[in-house]
Chains A and B, each alone.
Chain A
């Protein structure tokens, strides 16, 4: 993934001002965001050439590409925060599943088109509202990445919201499939806004947004979309967590096996 560019140093004024411990925490958090976009981008790229129709195949490949772009900006920043000489490639290709910090939702399998749409809707709804808060974040580099990605995340949420409505208020089969997907995947949505110990400390330090406002925005949007889709909002769901602390479902290992195959087989390979 190495390119011919460097990041403008003007977007990095705070780096030197962070205490080593804070810098390390921020590194972990940026890594979590990068892992999340990478794993979901990879999942979506698995659809390439297999989409139900050409236009939606293209849509999923486009969303995957946007997420990978965001991933690169985040890994590059994480590498700078860590300051140990690791590169974006090292972070993506040479860490094991237990070192990955993505929430469980994004590693869930593609399933059928309804499963993918529901997973995407749950993530986009979080991503959009999270990036909106991140725009005014104290860390200027994260704010700059959010400014860039929010425009794209808006297209994504529009796409997945419209598909929830089409499937829910569509045919008997599409409705049944989207209901099944919601029943399966909703339990992974809580983790997105359930702060880990690390996130609580960063929130207390004012370095990342509080999740309460994000949660309110997400709930309002989900309610509106599901109502229009004539679907019920699931109530009293027991939420599964662990991904952000490195405890994953078995699926992540398979993803990394494919994703990291080249670097694991031929260490240091470049092209």
Chain B
């Protein structure tokens, strides 16, 4: 193998753009907002990521995918750090990421609607736009969906069930 050019932080960020979320493959891990830092010291590369949800099984796969992507460029001195604080929030998801999500059929998070820190029993649910027919006439089926980060909704107009990427902040 040809010896790789010495890594630069900008180049590492470019490579990370190519690593995608294994559950939602249209999103890069940068779109998702989980890469918190990249540090290059000589040949040593440290990438710090933060979990979306503590039990998210995708995190190990993502760490392995980052490692494989950088190894493919010939970078071998790698550390992938897991950082819990500050805790991930959907505010960190990029605008491009939100558009890709909706085009993929998943309603993107609506900022400022996290019921996260208040106990709002039987409270009014967020109006979420159907990613398929764009109707705002939808209802929550379950706060817990196919993965930890999503809730299950159904459209009252086109009747399609769909995933909503929960606002988490």
Checking A59, A67, A70 against B144 with a beta-carbon cut-off of 8 angstroms, the contacting residue is A59
Select the stretch in B8-16, B25-33, B118-126 that faces chain A.
B118-126
Q: Closest CB-CB distance, B107 to chain A, in whole Å? A: 17
User: Are the CB atoms of B67 and A4 closer together than 8 Å?
Assistant: yes
User: Are the CB atoms of A73 and B54 closer together than 8 Å?
Assistant: yes
Residues of chain B within 8 A of A149, CB atoms compared: 54
Checking B63, B121, B143 against A165 with a beta-carbon cut-off of 8 angstroms, the contacting residue is B121
Checking A3, A8, A11, A70 against B63 with a beta-carbon cut-off of 8 angstroms, the contacting residue is A3
Checking A5, A152, A154 against B53 with a beta-carbon cut-off of 8 angstroms, the contacting residue is A152
How distant is the Cα of A56 from the Cα of B145 in the complex, in angstroms? Answer: 10
How distant is the Cα of A150 from the Cα of B88 in the complex, in angstroms? Answer: 12
- Total cross-chain contacts (CB, 8 A): 121
Say whether chain A's binding surface is mostly helix, strand, loop, or mixed. Answer: helix
What's the interface size class on A, roughly?
35 or more
Q: Closest CB-CB distance, B119 to chain A, in whole Å? A: 6
Q: Closest CB-CB distance, B15 to chain A, in whole Å? A: 17
How distant is the Cα of A46 from the Cα of B86 in the complex, in angstroms? Answer: 32
How distant is the Cα of A232 from the Cα of B74 in the complex, in angstroms? Answer: 66
Q: A22 an interface residue at 8 Å Cβ cutoff?
A: no
| In the complex, chain B residues 42-87 whose Cβ is within 8 Å of any chain A Cβ | 48-49, 51, 53-57, 59-60, 63-64, 67, 79-87
Given A55-B141, A58-B144, A69-B51, also A7-B121 (CB < 8 A):
no
5 more contacts with CB within 8 A, not counting A62-B145, A65-B148, A140-B85, are A8-B83, A56-B142, A59-B144, A67-B55, A155-B144
- B-side residues, CB < 8 A to A, are 48-49, 51, 53-57, 59-60, 63-64, 67, 79-87, 115-122, 141-146, 148, 152, 168
6 closest cross-chain pairs (CB), A and B: A69-B55, A69-B54, A144-B85, A65-B55, A55-B142, A62-B144
